[in-house]
Chain A
Amino acid sequence: MKNKARVAAAAAIAAAAIVLAGCSSGSGGAASAGSGKPASGGNLVIARAADASSLNNTTVFDNNSIFVLQQIMEPLFTVSNDGKTVKPWLARSYSVSSDKLTYTIKLRKGVDFSNGTPMTAADVKFSIDQDTKTGSDGWGYINSAIKEVKALDRSTVEIDLKYAWAPILADLSLFSNAIVPNNYGGESQESFYQHPVGTGPFKWDEWKKGQYLKLTKNTHYWQKGKPYLDSVRWNVVPDANTRKLQVQGGQADVDEYPDWSSFASLKSTPGVVATAFPSTEIDYIAFNQKRAPFNDVHVRQAISDAIDRKALVKAVLYGNGKPANSLLAPGVPYYDGTDGQKYDLTAAKQALAQSSVPNGFSTSLLIASGNANQAAVAQILQSELKPLGIDLKITQLDPTANHQAREDSDFDMAYSAWTMDIPDPDEWTSFAVDPAGGANSAFTFYDNPQVISLNEQAQKEIDSSKRQKLYSQLQRQTAQDAFLAYLYYPPYAYATTDKTKGFFVTPLGNYHLENVYKSGQ
């Protein structure tokens, strides 16, 4: 009975969305990019599906928490707007020793924490050391190449590496390496993260769990004149339709992740600006190579070739996003889609004919329940694999049970996705192709020594053109091995009121709210 009620609920919401889409027509909204002189003042309200969980930047893994804590605490380096490089942020400059093992970093002058105390090298050493200490309980593994962090003087930090490590600056740009006051300003770690202090544009104000989280302007912020906003508030609005209506009604300024099905109607709603920001997300189908026939490369190739990715983008993302051809998304440095995966039914039939199961077989695809995109992909794949004689059953599990099933390798094929946290391919490639990365190659048991070696070489290669060659080769080989069937690269969907200016999301998903202002203040 409950299930029926849920289905009916979903149907009614969808019907309301269609009615609404029909009602709303008119000119497209203005561009969200800042134009004219930014005005100070105003409060920004962001409506999102779920609450943050914790603001401990060294141990938290969900984006709802990360996007908030990034406004409070900042790292030494940050990602550029195109997501391809890192630029100094709380660092002013850096130099690298000839053996690539020592990084000397000069800190930016005049940076204060929101409590008014100046940031020094001792704070930097403490913060990075704290992150490293979390080990496998948190993000500590990201610092595994770091041997020691030394505070040389008040404004100089030296980072000694165990071995040459190309992603080090990208690692330092991760939120887990953001700078907090030395020794948590004398507090315990637990009490510090109840009201964290950092150098970011906003400071801690109030958190009503499950309802809203509010930050106010940091008047000590190092970028003079910024932030423009007086406060930012993230409201928890679980229902996608309600979030959309709140932006239309002016009750919220930003709708985080509206559904693709309502994206077009939001775009044409007067007073609303809907933007798809390029992301680093790749959605893919993982094959469990522990189970036959997925240990056969021809089977995997056949399925990958049979997927019409353009049709998926059209049907599932409503034309937003791109068909995926490579392990890396175009927003990731060293992306190379040459000789990538693509739709080719003839090749699919040939590959299956050469395989251990030339006449097809029965298998199952694991997806997360309650996820409209995954359900749509699953149904399309079901019909696309039928001509090959592959009978695909769809298994739905709620998100946590779904994760658990992948963790336990209890699946044939599974829908999954990845987004990057650092502007470097290594975080994902090590997780995906190297069984030593801890996750059995993204839970597929893929094990190609040639690819593993390419990944290891790329980790240690500092020269970017040589690194490009290694990653290009890695992308070509993994596409051919089809250990994953890449589906598409979806962008990040955001809807804002047309009064919200300067709102921009980097391919890593984070936003710099110090640049946001509201017109008409």
Chain B
Amino acid sequence: MLHRLRFVPGRIVQAIPVAIGVTILVFLMSHLLPGNPAVALLGDRATPDRVAALSKHLGLDKPLWLQYLIFLGNLLRGSLGESLSYQQPVSGLVLHAVPVTLSLLLFALVLSLLISVPLAGLAATRPGGARDLAARTFTLLGQGMPQFWVGIMLILLLAVKVRAFPVGGYGDTAADHLYYLFLPALTLAIAMCPTIIRSLRASTIQVLGSDYIGTARSKGIAGAQLFRTHVLRNAAIPTVSIIGVNLGYLVGGSLVIEKVFAVPGLGSLMVNAIFARDFPIIQAVALFVALFVVVVGILTDIVYTLLDPRVDLAAAQGAAS
């Protein structure tokens, strides 16, 4: 079993040039933006003298390549530098925001699976039937409604009218976090469900038509047991890679949702940092998101390999090289 995961260390090594590439790109892009962080900090009171003095104080008068090398040097020593606007270590700020965004994404993933798997199963058992039609209508609606709009509607309905949930925020305790994150996670889940349902429905229909399902049926296995033990595992294979790719996109989607629901995650941190030209924060968040996408890619391949014994990525890698 484990020998099929030989590809993982190689993938991790591959992530290093990706990360360095991302830091260079983000570093250059953020510095190309017009507007000096000192101008952002001083606001209306900015006079050229004060901007120059503050720029020097913040080390922004150094040449760009030197600033990048300082950033890289700090990174190698395990430091992400100091935020220009908060004048505090960036690592602390990012470490506060990472668990928030990760739990939001995880919560959204769990909710979308809880919604999608039963719906796809129901739809696939009788294609063209009433339940299938209902599931397909749901996917169409879910895909058609913009996320932020769904978010606002959920707030209006469940937080303002019914008052079952808070209007945004994050709460103070772990239980609070789950409660506060429910609506934003549901919003993200609604956006993610249609793709999962469609792919799972299609592959389930295909699996249900295959010979081994006929064999299983003839052995008297039916209903939920058949679905769980014989159908889902095989039908899930294409869906897993779709979820993997979508999780990457979801990080982008969560930026908007974090704003609507006042969730203090990476998205909020990043957007504020861009407006303030707080370069160290922009770099740290971009680096984290890039690594996250790489890790999700590796995890997807691991799950893929474990689900389907025929897949051998290590052998494929060997053959390709």
**Interfacial residues, chain A to chain B (CB-CB below 8 A):** 5, 8-9, 12-13, 16, 19-20, 47, 50-51, 53-54, 61-62, 135-137, 208-211, 235-239, 241-242, 245-246, 248-249, 251, 397-405, 407, 416-419, 431, 437-440
Question: Does B307 reach chain A (CB closer than 8 Å)?
Answer: no
Among the listed B35, B45, B167, B276, which residue makes an inter-chain contact with A251, where contact means beta carbons less than 8 Å apart?
Answer: B167
Among the listed A12, A238, A404, A440, which residue makes an inter-chain contact with B39, where contact means beta carbons less than 8 Å apart?
Answer: A404
Question: Does B65 reach chain A (CB closer than 8 Å)?
Answer: no
For B228, what are the chain A residues with a Cβ–Cβ distance below 8 Å? Answer: none
- The residues in B between 65 and 98 inclusive whose CB is less than 8 angstroms from any CB of A are 85-88, 92-93, 96-97
A-B contact pairs, 15 of them (CB 8 A): A53-B85, A53-B86, A62-B41, A209-B88, A236-B264, A238-B262, A242-B168, A246-B167, A249-B166, A400-B37, A401-B35, A402-B35, A403-B43, A404-B39, A438-B50
B43 touches A137 (CB 8 A): no
Q: Which residue of B lies closest to A16 (CB)?
A: B152
Q: With A54-B86, A246-B167 in contact, is A238–B149 under 8 Å at CB?
A: no
B152 touches A400 (CB 8 A): no
**Contact code string B19-52 (vs A, CB < 8 Å = 1, else 0):** 0000000000000011111011111111111110
Among the listed A61, A404, A440, which residue makes an inter-chain contact with B45, where contact means beta carbons less than 8 Å apart?
Answer: A61
Question: Does B247 reach chain A (CB closer than 8 Å)?
Answer: no
Q: With A54-B86, A245-B159 in contact, is A397–B264 under 8 Å at CB?
A: no
Question: Does B272 reach chain A (CB closer than 8 Å)?
Answer: yes
For B54, what are the chain A residues with a Cβ–Cβ distance below 8 Å? Answer: 137
For B45, what are the chain A residues with a Cβ–Cβ distance below 8 Å? Answer: 61, 431
Q: Which residue of A lies closest to B252 (CB)?
A: A2
B50 touches A9 (CB 8 A): no
For A407, what are the chain B residues with a Cβ–Cβ distance below 8 Å? Answer: 39, 46, 48, 51
Q: How far is the CA of A61 from the CA of B85 in the complex (A)?
A: 11
A12 touches B148 (CB 8 A): yes
Q: How far is the CA of A61 from the CA of B42 in the complex (A)?
A: 6
Among the listed A19, A211, A401, A437, which residue makes an inter-chain contact with B34, where contact means beta carbons less than 8 Å apart?
Answer: A401
For B160, what are the chain A residues with a Cβ–Cβ distance below 8 Å? Answer: 245, 248-249
Question: Does B245 reach chain A (CB closer than 8 Å)?
Answer: no
B264 touches A136 (CB 8 A): no
A210 touches B39 (CB 8 A): no
Closest 10 CB pairs of A and B: A400-B35, A438-B47, A211-B264, A237-B262, A401-B35, A401-B34, A404-B35, A400-B40, A12-B149, A439-B47
Among the listed A137, A242, A397, A417, which residue makes an inter-chain contact with B155, where contact means beta carbons less than 8 Å apart?
Answer: A242
A398 touches B275 (CB 8 A): yes
B152 touches A136 (CB 8 A): no
Interface size on B, residues (CB 8 A): 57
Question: Does B219 reach chain A (CB closer than 8 Å)?
Answer: no
For A137, what are the chain B residues with a Cβ–Cβ distance below 8 Å? Answer: 50, 53-54, 57
CB B148 to nearest CB in A, in angstroms, measures 5
Q: With A53-B85, A242-B262, A403-B35 in contact, is A418–B44 under 8 Å at CB?
A: yes
Q: With A20-B156, A50-B272 in contact, is A403–B39 under 8 Å at CB?
A: yes
Q: How far is the CA of A61 from the CA of B51 in the complex (A)?
A: 13
For B146, what are the chain A residues with a Cβ–Cβ distance below 8 Å? Answer: 5, 8-9, 12
A9 touches B148 (CB 8 A): yes
Question: Does B163 reach chain A (CB closer than 8 Å)?
Answer: yes
A51 touches B49 (CB 8 A): no
Question: Does B277 reach chain A (CB closer than 8 Å)?
Answer: yes
For B170, what are the chain A residues with a Cβ–Cβ distance below 8 Å? Answer: 211
Q: How far is the CA of A85 from the CA of B119 in the complex (A)?
A: 69
Q: How far is the CA of A135 from the CA of B50 in the complex (A)?
A: 9
Q: How far is the CA of A292 from the CA of B142 in the complex (A)?
A: 55
Q: How far is the CA of A416 from the CA of B88 in the complex (A)?
A: 31
Q: How far is the CA of A239 from the CA of B40 in the complex (A)?
A: 21
A208 touches B96 (CB 8 A): yes
B34 touches A439 (CB 8 A): no
CB A196 to nearest CB in B, in angstroms, measures 14
Of B210-218, B230-238, B253-261, the one contacting chain A is B253-261
- The residues in B between 163 and 222 inclusive whose CB is less than 8 angstroms from any CB of A are 163, 166-170
Question: Does B120 reach chain A (CB closer than 8 Å)?
Answer: no
A238 touches B268 (CB 8 A): yes
Question: Does B269 reach chain A (CB closer than 8 Å)?
Answer: yes
Q: How far is the CA of A211 from the CA of B41 in the complex (A)?
A: 20
A13 touches B96 (CB 8 A): no
Q: How far is the CA of A109 from the CA of B84 in the complex (A)?
A: 40
Q: Which residue of A lies closest to B149 (CB)?
A: A12
A16 touches B272 (CB 8 A): no
Apart from A12-B149, A137-B57, A245-B155, what 14 extra A-B contacts exist at CB < 8 Å?
A: A9-B146, A9-B148, A9-B256, A19-B156, A20-B156, A208-B96, A210-B264, A236-B268, A237-B262, A238-B268, A398-B35, A405-B34, A438-B48, A440-B48
